[in-house]
């Protein structure tokens, strides 16, 4: 009987130690990786789409920003197309960013419409994922490091295939594709095929 009481007491003590505790939450370890603010440096092109928070309708934004490697966005521009305002071209003013060692970070951009906040994940110093985290919209996309010197007539040569999807209020999304090639004069003649479907 004495051994049974000792065994029950030991079990109760182990149970109390396992289920009890000081109620503190352990601190998560710091992010691990080789990224920093200097990993985001140069001119980046970005493309995003999502849902406008005010109208609930589809919108898209494309543009570029220049990061200085020290946490500052020194310039940039975007084209935004929303149902409420239509197409707009907006320049970025003084803006900031921060990158953690695991590649996660934030970008805060300012333009004529106000402040925009984004969460980013660097996949490498040359590319990453971007998600809008402010209350203006729900959007996501990608960004890629650009070589500004490649944007010249000599830098664009060869055959290209273009694909696009258009939103027409009275019809579903309409895919189209075009094969085009660049002539020496800088023109892009295209052969286009389009299929429209209506309800």
State the burial class of residue 65 (Cβ atoms within 10 Å of its Cβ: 0-12, 13-18, 19+).
buried
133 and 173 housed in the same domain: no
Q: Which two tokens stand for residue 36?
A: 């920093």
* Pair 98, 37: CB distance under 8 Å: yes
52 and 131 housed in the same domain: yes
82 and 176 housed in the same domain: no
Q: Which two tokens stand for residue 134?
A: 């402010």
Assign residue 114 the CATH number of its domain: 2.40.128.120
Residue 92 structural domain: 37-150
- Pick the residue with more confidence: 107 or 28? 107
Question: Which pLDDT band holds residue 22 (cuts at 50, 70, 90)?
Answer: low
Give the closest residue to 181 by CA, choosing from 156, 151, 160, 150.
160
Give the closest residue to 137 by CA, choosing from 49, 55, 61, 52.
52
pLDDT digits (tens, 9 = 90+) for 157-189: 777 776 666 555 555 444 444 444 444 444 545
Q: What is the pTM of this model?
A: 0.67
Q: Which two tokens stand for residue 18?
A: 């396992």
Supply the DSSP symbol for 26: P
What is the average per-residue pLDDT within 141-162?
A: 80
63 and 85 housed in the same domain: yes
Domain count, the chain: 2
pLDDT digits (tens, 9 = 90+) for 35-80: 999 999 999 999 999 998 888 999 899 999 999 999 999 999 999 9
- The pLDDT assigned to 105 comes to 97
- The pLDDT assigned to 199 comes to 46
The enclosing H or E element of 12 equals: helix 2-19
């Amino acid at each position: 009987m004495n051994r049974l009481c000792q065994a029950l007491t030991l079990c109760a003590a182990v149970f109390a130690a396992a289920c009890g505790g000081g109620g503190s939450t352990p601190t998560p370890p710091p992010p691990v990786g080789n990224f920093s603010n200097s990993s985001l440096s140069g001119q980046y092109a970005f493309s995003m789409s999502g849902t406008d928070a005010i109208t609930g309708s589809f919108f898209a934004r494309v543009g570029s920003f220049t990061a200085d490697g020290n946490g500052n966005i020194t310039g940039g521009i975007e084209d935004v197309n929303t149902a409420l305002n239509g197409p707009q071209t907006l320049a970025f003013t003084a803006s900031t960013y921060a990158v953690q060692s695991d590649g996660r970070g934030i970008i805060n951009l300012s333009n004529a419409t106000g402040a925009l906040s984004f969460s980013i994940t660097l996949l490498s110093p040359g590319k990453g994922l971007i998600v809008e985290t402010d209350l203006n919209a729900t959007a996501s996309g990608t960004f890629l490091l650009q070589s500004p010197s490649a944007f010249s007539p000599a830098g664009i040569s060869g055959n290209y295939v273009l694909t696009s999807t258009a939103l027409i209020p009275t019809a579903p999304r309409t895919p189209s594709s075009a094969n085009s090639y660049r002539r020496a004069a800088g023109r892009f003649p295209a052969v286009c095929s389009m299929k429209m479907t209506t309800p």
